[in-house]
């Protein structure tokens, strides 16, 4: 009898502990301003997000459709666990040296109430600047290898906010102009999706640590402000092949008071894993030039012939120029066998170890080494990842042999291997393989036609920069006339939130013999300022070297670093203007870039970010007298003044103009 009652008591204790969660599934940010709540309603799991008691996300449902069944119904919360974390970690390179990673975490275990009793956990990390969450599938009997047909994650926005985005399936390689549309009117869009609320808050939805999964797009449900995840499919319609144990990427929401705070959020990086490369001494940010604009302006060809750009002689000329002006590298495209074919369709004919006969790589790299300049390699695949993967090790070993430690990769073709989308799980797997193989050979990567970046550079800091943007090349050949003036005042707050951009600013000659109606739609001073505004640890000055000769404004390009210890955003309005100040990682000097859209603008710049009490010399490169981007874009006035942290500089930006400033500590 005694034993029976003991047993009963035990069962009772167990039931209480097992069936009722010990606390409420609620978690707040370390500063208490952001609150995430999780619940189950009719067997469906949901979460909400509030900031200072204002709804950011209303009841937003979670779950999946798997190939053989739904996985979003009949769910029960079985356990919850809250923890806290705080660390400061250093970036190998970046917009600042140290990053604070501080969050409170809520892990919610859920399981099907009956049937297969499959389970997953949703882990929320709440930072002072937003929220990240992901699904984790633990090892279990009834869920081993499975296929995700749909991810049902919702973001139920409180209102149909104004938003900036590009459409997902109609924009090749993310090379589109950002549209400003209320969220309920969006079609399927790529992330980052940036929004401004009526009460002046800024939100960005994106993802972090995209590993062996499909990229997430978003689409509004039935024209409402409830956004639903849309994973890029395989050609067969499946979304993701998954195993348990396994995790999804983090879904991220930055919540900011100003556009500048969106840019300064490091939530995405914090949600990636720490660096996996032990010796990072070979990873070096830098500024490079290239045998590149000449191809886009049709002065040179990629393929061997009378106008071949990648000749030994021409490359040496670029190396001389790089050495003279302190550039760390020279990119050379069109150096290898394969360009003579219809290469966007016949990428499988590229060789990555066979230089054209007029490109003597041995002589070139010896010459470059003598001049302390590196050849920046190029692997255009024409979208044939199969051909590239077959050659991957030999391709990187070949470059390593010649001391080439940075390679620009490219995937120009609407589909990879004629079949799969760049942002599918297929593409994601390939890009990761390239990054990891390159690391083995101590090669840095600049990836063009990528999948949208998600902060992997924290783990693999040899992933320096990526395209995935409508870059400066559109000013060479885009039939719509080139990038409109507002473009670069939007991308720092959209694509830029996904990571460094290889936009390649710095064109000095705006004439276009091939497409006279297409040109750089900025002033020259704005081209300078873009080196600061658009962040990239490998930053290319786009123009042909002859266009830089004897131009005093070139001084700004050659002295502007590509690695920073601190970044501040004194002033910005998305689509109108941006002012950014960055402190050099290797000196006490600051660099400022300020740009405007098609409207001329007067702004003030308080230098309060400078060290108090210290003296600086400001060297200012600004739009000259009477400058206007269409008719008179070139004059740059260069001025000097002594300043301190109390100085306020007046900025006078011409139409699509800019100002670039070097602040040298005295
Ligand atoms: C497109 C890239 O964006 C561009 O930079 C490159 O020159 C061409 N592909 C050829 O690879």
107 belongs to a structural domain: yes
17 belongs to a structural domain: no
Kindly state whether residues 319 and 224 are assigned to the same domain: no
| CATH assignment of the domain containing 167 | 2.70.98.10
653 belongs to a structural domain: no
Domain end position, chosen among 270, 294, 327 = 270
449 belongs to a structural domain: yes
pLDDT in tens, 267-280: 999 999 999 999 99
pLDDT of residue 116: 96
Kindly state whether residues 391 and 540 are assigned to the same domain: yes
Backbone Cα Rg of the chain? 26
* Ligand 1 centroid distance, CA of 95 (Å): 26
Kindly state whether residues 295 and 190 are assigned to the same domain: no
Kindly state whether residues 220 and 307 are assigned to the same domain: no
The helix, strand and coil proportions of the chain, stated in percent and rounded to the nearest 5, come to: 20, 35, 45
645 belongs to a structural domain: no
In three state form, how does the secondary structure of 273-290 look?
A: CCCCCCCCCCCCCEEEEE
pLDDT band at 11; cut points 50, 70, 90: very low
Kindly state whether residues 405 and 431 are assigned to the same domain: yes
Ligand 1 pocket residue status of 473, Cβ below 6 Å: yes
Instruction: Indicate the top mutation candidate among 291, 350, 422, 448 to test ligand 1's pocket, ranked by most ligand atoms within 8 A of CB.
Output: 448
Q: Active-site residue 473, yes or no?
A: yes
Cα distance between residue 457 and residue 466, in whole Å: 11
Kindly state whether residues 429 and 325 are assigned to the same domain: yes
Kindly state whether residues 292 and 254 are assigned to the same domain: no
Domain count, the chain: 2
Mean pLDDT of all residues belonging to the chain: 96
Ligand 1 pocket residue status of 412, Cβ below 6 Å: yes
pLDDT in tens, 622-658: 999 999 999 999 999 999 999 999 999 999 999 999 9
Domain end position, chosen among 525, 545, 561 = 561
Kindly state whether residues 292 and 212 are assigned to the same domain: no
399 belongs to a structural domain: yes
For 208, the 3-state DSSP assignment is strand
Residue 292 CA, closest ligand 1 atom number: 7
Q: Is the pLDDT at 2 greater than 50, yes or no? A: no
Kindly state whether residues 292 and 260 are assigned to the same domain: no
Kindly state whether residues 49 and 163 are assigned to the same domain: yes
pLDDT in tens, 104-155: 999 999 999 999 999 999 999 999 999 999 999 999 999 999 999 999 999 9
Other Cβ atoms less than 10 A from the Cβ of 388: the count is: 25
Ligand 1 pocket residue status of 446, Cβ below 6 Å: no
8 Å CB contact between 202 and 196: yes
pLDDT in tens, 313-336: 999 999 999 999 999 999 999 999
8 Å CB contact between 537 and 555: no
Q: Is the pLDDT at 6 greater than 60, yes or no? A: no
Identify the active-site residue in 196, 420, 467, 473. 473
Ligand 1 pocket residue status of 333, Cβ below 6 Å: yes
* Ligand 1 centroid distance, CA of 465 (Å): 14
* Ligand 1 centroid distance, CA of 380 (Å): 8
Residue 504 CA, closest ligand 1 atom number: 5
Cα distance between residue 109 and residue 136, in whole Å: 9
* Ligand 1 centroid distance, CA of 311 (Å): 18
Residue 173 CA, closest ligand 1 atom number: 3
β-pair partners for 60: 47
Token pair 């070993």 in the structure block, residue: 397
Kindly state whether residues 67 and 189 are assigned to the same domain: yes
145 belongs to a structural domain: yes
Kindly state whether residues 262 and 342 are assigned to the same domain: no
| CATH assignment of the domain containing 375 | 3.20.20.70
588 belongs to a structural domain: no
Range of the domain at 41: 24-270
- Interval 523-543 mean pLDDT: 98
Instruction: Indicate the top mutation candidate among 380, 478, 483, 503 to test ligand 1's pocket, ranked by most ligand atoms within 8 A of CB.
Output: 380
* Ligand 1 centroid distance, CA of 410 (Å): 6
- Interval 169-173 mean pLDDT: 95
Ligand 1 pocket residue status of 637, Cβ below 6 Å: no
* Ligand 1 centroid distance, CA of 553 (Å): 27
Q: Is the pLDDT at 613 greater than 60, yes or no? A: yes
Cα distance between residue 111 and residue 108, in whole Å: 10
Domain end position, chosen among 546, 561, 576 = 561
Q: Is the pLDDT at 10 greater than 80, yes or no? A: no
8 Å CB contact between 331 and 540: yes
């Amino acid at each position: 009898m005694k034993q029976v009652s003991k047993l009963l008591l035990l069962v009772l204790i167990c039931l209480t502990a097992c069936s009722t969660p010990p606390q409420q599934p609620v978690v707040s940010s370390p500063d208490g301003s952001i609150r995430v709540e999780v619940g189950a309603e009719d067997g469906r799991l949901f979460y909400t997000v509030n900031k200072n008691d204002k709804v950011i996300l209303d009841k937003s449902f979670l779950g999946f459709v798997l190939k053989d069944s739904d996985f979003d119904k009949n769910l029960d919360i079985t356990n919850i666990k809250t923890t806290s974390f705080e660390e400061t970690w250093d970036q190998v390179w970046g917009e600042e040296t140290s990053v604070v990673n501080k969050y409170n975490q809520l892990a919610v275990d859920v399981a099907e109430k009956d049937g297969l009793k499959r389970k997953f956990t949703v882990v929320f990390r709440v930072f002072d600047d937003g929220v990240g969450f992901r699904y984790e599938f633990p090892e279990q009997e009834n869920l081993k290898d499975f296929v995700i047909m749909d991810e049902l994650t919702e973001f139920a926005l409180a209102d149909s906010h104004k938003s900036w985005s590009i459409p997902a399936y109609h924009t090749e390689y993310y090379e589109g102009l950002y549209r400003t549309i209320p969220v309920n009117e969006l079609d399927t869009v790529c992330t980052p999706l940036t929004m401004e609320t009526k009460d002046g808050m800024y939100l960005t939805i994106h993802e972090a640590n995209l590993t062996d999964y499909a990229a997430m797009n978003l689409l509004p449900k039935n024209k409402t402000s409830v956004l639903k995840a849309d994973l890029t499919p395989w050609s067969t319609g499946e979304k993701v092949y998954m195993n348990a144990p396994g995790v999804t990427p983090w879904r991220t929401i930055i919540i900011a008071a100003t556009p500048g705070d969106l840019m300064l959020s490091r939530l995405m990086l914090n949600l990636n894993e720490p660096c996996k490369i032990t010796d990072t001494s070979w990873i070096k940010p830098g500024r490079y030039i290239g045998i590149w604009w000449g191809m886009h302006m049709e002065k040179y060809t990629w393929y061997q012939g009378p106008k071949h750009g990648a000749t030994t002689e021409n490359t040496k000329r670029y190396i001389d120029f790089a050495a003279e002006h302190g550039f760390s590298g020279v990119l050379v495209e069109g150096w290898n066998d394969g360009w003579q074919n219809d290469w966007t369709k016949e990428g499988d004919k590229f060789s990555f170890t066979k230089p054209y006969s007029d490109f003597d790589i041995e002589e070139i790299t010896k010459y470059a080494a003598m001049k302390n300049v590196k050849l920046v390699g190029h692997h255009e695949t024409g979208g044939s990842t199969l051909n590239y993967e077959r050659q991957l090790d030999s391709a990187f070993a070949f470059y390593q042999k010649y001391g080439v430690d940075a390679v620009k990769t490219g995937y120009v073709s609407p589909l990879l291997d004629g079949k799969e989308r760049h942002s599918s799980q297929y593409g994601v797997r390939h890009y990761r393989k390239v990054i990891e193989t390159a690391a083995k050979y101590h090669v840095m990567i600049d990836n063009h036609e990528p999948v949208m970046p998600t902060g992997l550079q924290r783990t693999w800091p040899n992933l320096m920069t990526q395209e995935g943007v409508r870059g400066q090349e559109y000013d060479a050949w885009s039939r719509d006339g080139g990038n409109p003036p507002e473009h670069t005042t939007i991308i720092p707050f959209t694509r830029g939130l996904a990571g460094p951009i290889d936009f390649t600013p710095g064109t000095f000659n705006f004439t276009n013999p091939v497409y006279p109606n297409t040109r750089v739609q900025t002033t020259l001073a704005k081209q300078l300022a873009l080196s600061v505004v658009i962040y990239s640890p490998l930053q290319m000055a786009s123009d042909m070297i002859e266009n830089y000769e004897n131009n005093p404004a070139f001084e700004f390009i050659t002295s502007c670093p590509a690695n920073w210890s601190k970044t501040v955003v004194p002033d910005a309005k998305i689509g109108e203007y941006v002012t950014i100040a960055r402190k050099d990682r290797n000196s006490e000097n600051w660099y400022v870039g300020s740009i405007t859209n098609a409207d001329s603008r007067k702004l003030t710049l308080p230098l309060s970010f400078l060290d108090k009490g210290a003296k600086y010399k400001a060297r200012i490169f600004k739009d000259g007298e009477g400058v206007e981007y269409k008719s008179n874009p070139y004059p740059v006035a260069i001025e000097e003044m002594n300043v301190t942290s109390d100085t306020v500089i007046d900025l006078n930006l011409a139409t699509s103009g800019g100002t670039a400033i070097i602040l040298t500590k005295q």
